[in-house]
Structure 1
Amino acid sequence: MVKRCLLLAVGLAIFGWMVWQTGPAQLWRNLLDWNWTLLACIAVWAVGYVLNAMSFRQVMRCVMSDEAFAATDLNRTLRLTIGGYALNYVTPFGLLGGEPWRIVRLRKVTDPTSANSAVVYYAMMHVCSHIIFWLVALAYAFVQMRPMLHSAVGDGVDWAVVAGIVLLIAVVVYIAGRIAVRKGWIGSLRRLLADHPCRFVAALMLEFASRIVNVAEYWLLLGVAFPDSTLATYGAAFLVVAFSSLFANALFFSPLQMGTREGGILLALQAFLPSLTLAGLLPAAVSISFATRIREFFWILVGMLLIIIEQRKKLSK
């Protein structure tokens, strides 16, 4: 716990330095310019959470009885989804907050085994969809940037980039596979796929769709920050989200992604606008990150409110 607090302090220091370099007045002006955009970002995540809840319900249908599934309607699943993510945000060890709470609440309507399975399977879907998101982004990045690389450096380096991307994909898949085998996820997912193939695919696609929808947040913010550049497209926003989230998750030890999110956004912007320096892009990166944290804080408050509402529900098996 002491190490986590120390890392949080380091992350806060880095974040504070970035804000200071940007200038609090400049940051405040950017946020005022984004007033309606921030509301749109909050609405985007509302749609994403509905898709998350629909994915969660597909998993529940595979492991819960008809009576228990009927008792957990979409509204209640949405409360469990948003409340669980809110707890994951505010607890120092991530999944040690939201997942146990979901299990406890589901045990009110079903047996412990089914409750555990529903939550664990959904967590697996969440992780798998994130890996798919990164892999699709890598492929899309190569398709989009290959002509630029080819014209700039020729065939030799062009194919070296291809080899590098293939190697990176292989490393990501290998690491994910090792973690999955160690935790026993592979066998569990195989059983779920064999027993309920249609619902398995539906749950995974809904979870992936929620990530694609959430890209709209960065599309809106980048459109305001860089209205006349190549960043003002949905495809560019997709790549910025993918790279910044990959960077932040690679440095998973940073609580609340403090400092790592800003660094990931900054490096992603630099890749699209190489003519600008990192110092020149810092104000935009910090402002975008700050806007996402405002949205995040809003949904944490909503999640905590939904947890209170859920705790007051008197449901029985």
Structure 2
Amino acid sequence: MKKKYQNGFFLFGLVLLIVMLSQLDFKEVWNGLQRAGYWFFAVVALWAGLYIFNTFTWHIIIKTTATESGGSDKPISFWWLYKTTVSGFALNYATPGGLMGGEPYRIMQLAPKIGTERASSSVILFVMTHIFSHFWFWLISVILYLLTQPVNLLIGSLLAASTIFCLLGIWFFMSGYRKGLAKRAMNLLRHIPYVKRWAIPFIEKRREQLDTIDRQIAALHSQKPHIFATALASELVCRILSALEIFFILLVLYPSVNYIACILILAFTTLFANLLFFMPLQIGGREGGFLMSITTLGFRTSDGIFVALIVRIRELIWTLIGLLLIKFEQKEKDKLPTERGQLQ
């Protein structure tokens, strides 16, 4: 990626991070960190492991698209891909609409190594699999709730609506895997006012590239079902293990915590927050989701506020780490020409 683009991503994310930090009550943050104690470090460290699952998913998808295209690649180390994954999620955390920051960054980072088309298809496939796993996670959580919690008319109605929503989402993505999604998404944009002004020329100019991307998307599901299942399982396991974050935080408040309850809290909170995807860092949506899910399961309102605070701080820390990785990689690239000159 060119230096000016890398600087642009870094500065864009940094500005948004500063804006998010300005919204915090630092006295409340400090009190929360003191209360959490060493469990806070466990929460932050947990995500270093969870990002390995995301990187593994993207890595096997990249290898699959490379096999389908038959092209030669520059070597892609798992550690480099891990850093790119963390930075991509950092930009998504800070960006309204999520995909406006992290996905273009991933494509621009990967394109010099495997080409723009394959970089685009691998990123689209990763995002599809990441979101697809959410729908399965939410559906599994509905079943867990029915098996472990009492259900009244209101809760039953919400669970029924959630089930329908999840099944529709699963159907949509299965259709996208079979037929491709890139061209269909762009054709949808051509009907949106104002957006269609650039969407129509873009589609006409890159019709062949979009067809190639869609073929690669469809190939993962139809020709490599075991890789598709492995990628989906990796993301789904990551979703389930991420409930450890809530488990660690609630251990500060209660000596024994039911892990299934933590999964249900995470499922409802992420579902609610993703419905408000347009908000930067999902401010308000995440906190509201924690409050509603935790109180519904019999915890106190103050517990929901505490969990939401610690999760928010963790997100800000990993956003900062991701942005610093962008800056450090740029410095490493700047050193290479100097080192080569010295060797000569």
Sort the TM-score into its range (normalised by shorter chain).
0.7 to 0.9
* Partner residue in 2 for 1:222: 250
* Partner residue in 1 for 2:54: 52
User: Aligned partners of 1:256 and 1:143: how far apart in 2?
Assistant: 32
User: Aligned partners of 1:213 and 1:70: how far apart in 2?
Assistant: 33
Partner of residue 112 from structure 2, selected from 103, 108, 114: 108
Aligned length: 276
* Partner residue in 2 for 1:308: 327
* Partner residue in 1 for 2:259: 234
Report how far residue 307 of structure 1 moved. Answer: 1.4
Partner of residue 205 from structure 1, selected from 206, 227, 233: 233
Report how far residue 84 of structure 1 moved. Answer: 0.5
User: Aligned partners of 1:64 and 1:271: how far apart in 2?
Assistant: 47
Q: Deviations over 1:97-141 (max 9, x none)?
A: 111111111111112111111111001011001111111111111
| Contact kept? 1:47, 1:210, Cα under 8 Å | no
User: Aligned partners of 1:127 and 1:196: how far apart in 2?
Assistant: 19
Partner of residue 268 from structure 1, selected from 273, 290, 293: 293
* Partner residue in 2 for 1:3: none
* Partner residue in 1 for 2:191: none
Partner of residue 187 from structure 1, selected from 179, 185, 197: 179
Q: 1:304 to 1:285 in 2, by over 3 A?
A: same
Give TM-score, length-normalised by structure 2: 0.72
User: Aligned partners of 2:32 and 2:55: how far apart in 1?
Assistant: 33
Partner of residue 286 from structure 1, selected from 281, 301, 305: 305
| Contact kept? 2:96, 2:279, Cα under 8 Å | no
Alignment-mate amino acid for residue 58 of structure 2: F
Give TM-score, length-normalised by structure 1: 0.78
Q: 1:311 to 1:172 in 2, by over 3 A?
A: same
| Contact kept? 1:51, 1:206, Cα under 8 Å | yes
Q: Deviations over 1:192-227 (max 9, x none)?
A: 111211111111111111111211010011121233
Structure 1, gaps ≥5 residues long: 1-7
User: Aligned partners of 1:256 and 1:113: how far apart in 2?
Assistant: 29
Report how far residue 93 of structure 1 moved. Answer: 3.1
Report how far residue 60 of structure 1 moved. Answer: 0.6
Q: 1:106 to 1:27 in 2, by over 3 A?
A: closer
Alignment-mate amino acid for residue 62 of structure 1: T
| Contact kept? 1:31, 1:287, Cα under 8 Å | no
* 2:197 is the alignment partner of 1:172: no
Partner of residue 145 from structure 2, selected from 133, 141, 145: 141
Report how far residue 311 of structure 1 moved. Answer: 3.5
User: Aligned partners of 1:85 and 1:26: how far apart in 2?
Assistant: 26
* Partner residue in 1 for 2:270: 245
Q: Deviations over 1:237-261 (max 9, x none)?
A: 1110111111111222332111111
| Contact kept? 2:291, 2:304, Cα under 8 Å | yes
Determine what percentage of the aligned residue pairs are the same residue.
30
Tell which has more relative contact order, 1 or 2 (C-alpha 8 A, sep 6+).
1
